[in-house]
Chains A and B, each alone.
Chain A
Amino acid sequence: MAETVVETKVETSLGTPWNVVVHDDPVNLMSYVTMVFQRVFGFSKQKAQHHMLEVHHKGRSILWSGARERAEFYVQQLHGYLLLATLERAE
């Protein structure tokens, strides 16, 4: 007889938000970084360029804040494009 397994998923989105941070890297091209932000986060070109320039001038930019699981997903996507991205607990 088939056994029914009931999984309980802990809702983490109500907890502390997490930031997805991208750090400056002298190798990655500005146009490439802009393109990646558009693809991963669905940003407009203008918004993607704003974050790209923030990374370039300030050394880092917070691209997204929210639930941990989603933040981990975004960080993984960014690493796939070889960007320097980290997950940080929001202050």
Chain B
Amino acid sequence: MLIRRLKENAIELIDIEPIEAELLRQVPGVCDSGGDDQSEARLFSSPADSSENQFLNDWAEYVRPELRHLFLSARKTVKEDLEKLSDIPGRLGRLVIPRTHSDAWLNALNQARLILATKFNFSARELSTHAAPKWFSRRDLVLQQINFYAEIQERIIDATEE
């Protein structure tokens, strides 16, 4: 897969392998924490220590719903873009992301990586290790998935800065 800027207004993903297309399609679903407490705690981390009682209460009442709306909106945008992913059997896929959607993609990819890393309890050391394991457990495959999403984030950031 190659990710590049397409003119001024879009980012183009070309030569998307079927396995890459599958991982991309999983992004919106992965972003759904399914009510997992630890994932929710990471997505909605505390903005202050417990001494800021009133601030924390106001945050929970007013800010948190706004953040949830923002995160859901990013997922929805990514899901709608993915419906346009060309997927003809025997051919590599292509996807064009409007540049105005790049923030939604970065956000959704970040949500997906944070949730996967939290659910599978990856350490900082594991997340910075790119060496291929000797055998692939489900956890090892998830780490590959996290790193795949990270590479896409890097390329989208590059493309938006070009």
B70 contacts partner chain A, Cβ-Cβ < 8 Å: yes
Across the interface, do B153 and A32 meet the contact criterion of CB distance under 8 Å? yes
B47 contacts partner chain A, Cβ-Cβ < 8 Å: yes
A26 contacts partner chain B, Cβ-Cβ < 8 Å: yes
Residues 62-87 of chain A, each 1 if its beta carbon lies under 8 Å from chain B, else 0: 00000000001001100111101111
A29 contacts partner chain B, Cβ-Cβ < 8 Å: yes
Across the interface, do A87 and B52 meet the contact criterion of CB distance under 8 Å? yes
Query: Given known contacts A76-B63, A82-B107, A82-B110, is B46 in contact with A26 (CB within 8 Å)?
Result: no
Across the interface, do B110 and A86 meet the contact criterion of CB distance under 8 Å? no
- Name the segment of B13-21, B85-93, B111-119 touching the other chain: B111-119
Residue of B nearest to A68 (CB): B55
Across the interface, do A26 and B47 meet the contact criterion of CB distance under 8 Å? no
Q: Which of A32, A72, A81 is in CB contact (< 8 Å) with B157?
A: A32
Mostly, the B contact residues are helix
The residues of B that contact A72 with a CB separation of less than 8 Å are: 47, 55
Which 5 A-B residue pairs are closest in the complex by CB-CB distance? A26-B124, A87-B48, A26-B127, A27-B117, A82-B110
Residues of A within 8 A of B (CB): 26-29, 31-32, 35, 72, 75-76, 79-82, 84-88
Q: A29-B150, A75-B48, A87-B55 are known contacts; what are 17 more A-B pairs with Cβ within 8 Å?
A: A27-B127, A31-B153, A31-B157, A32-B106, A32-B153, A35-B157, A75-B47, A76-B67, A79-B45, A79-B47, A79-B63, A84-B45, A85-B47, A86-B47, A86-B49, A87-B52, A88-B49
